[in-house]
Amino acid sequence: MQSRKDGRLPPCFRPLIGRELMSEHDSLEYLGIPSDCDPKIAAAVRYWLSIKPADGLPGRQHIDPTDIPNLLHGVWLVDVRRDPLSFVFRLVGTSVVDFFGKDPTGRNLHDVFENFEETIPYKDFCDIVETQCMRWRRGTPVLSHQSKFAGLERVYLPFARNGSDVDMIFCFSVFRTARGGVREN
């Protein structure tokens, strides 16, 4: 397992030491993902675990879209830019476009969302870059979105081409309508 620049192992990696890849029925609670999470959230995390090298984080080069065809609609990839730190939509799945009401591919999140620096996603993205650890959340959407959506569940997973410096965040979201339905394309 690769360590951070300060030589310490990221705390979120400690539960992975000595663990074999889990079956689809094993709990993800040791990673902070609740047992009642949406099955597609669990599938996204298990995919990340399956492509994660033993010595660090997976990178974009490890993703094969043909491995996750049932998840692609809810995927959004965010590039991490540094000096200054910013986040840019690289790829946006159809459910995510429907949620936002537009296709933000190629745009900086600071330009798409007013006061982005004050949002939970911004704080989570910054924390992921610093700690190399995933983030999960379920609740009310905080970014600008179509009014037909009342809830979401999402996971943000760190990616690093070199195994340690987070340069992309693999986001997967499940969107719930006001009537409780799940939006899938």
5 belongs to a structural domain: no
53 belongs to a structural domain: yes
The residues with which 137 forms a beta bridge, in sequence order, are 154
Supply the range of the domain harboring residue 66: 11-183
What is the C-alpha to C-alpha distance for residues 163 and 4, in angstroms, rounded to an integer?
Answer: 10
Instruction: Give kind and range of the element (H or E) at residue 45.
Output: helix 39-51
Name the domain count of the chain: 1
104 belongs to a structural domain: yes
pLDDT digits (tens, 9 = 90+) for 108-157: 999 988 888 998 899 999 999 999 999 999 988 777 666 677 788 999 99
4 belongs to a structural domain: no
125 belongs to a structural domain: yes
pLDDT digits (tens, 9 = 90+) for 156-178: 999 999 999 999 999 999 988 87
3 belongs to a structural domain: no
CATH number of the domain that residue 159 is part of? 3.30.450.20
152 belongs to a structural domain: yes
Q: What's 153's DSSP letter? A: E
Tokens of 179: 């009537």
Closest by alpha carbon to 158, among 79, 74, 66, 69? 79
138 belongs to a structural domain: yes
pLDDT digits (tens, 9 = 90+) for 16-75: 544 454 545 456 887 888 989 999 999 999 999 999 988 889 999 999 999 999 999 999
Which residue has 């986040």 as its token pair? 87
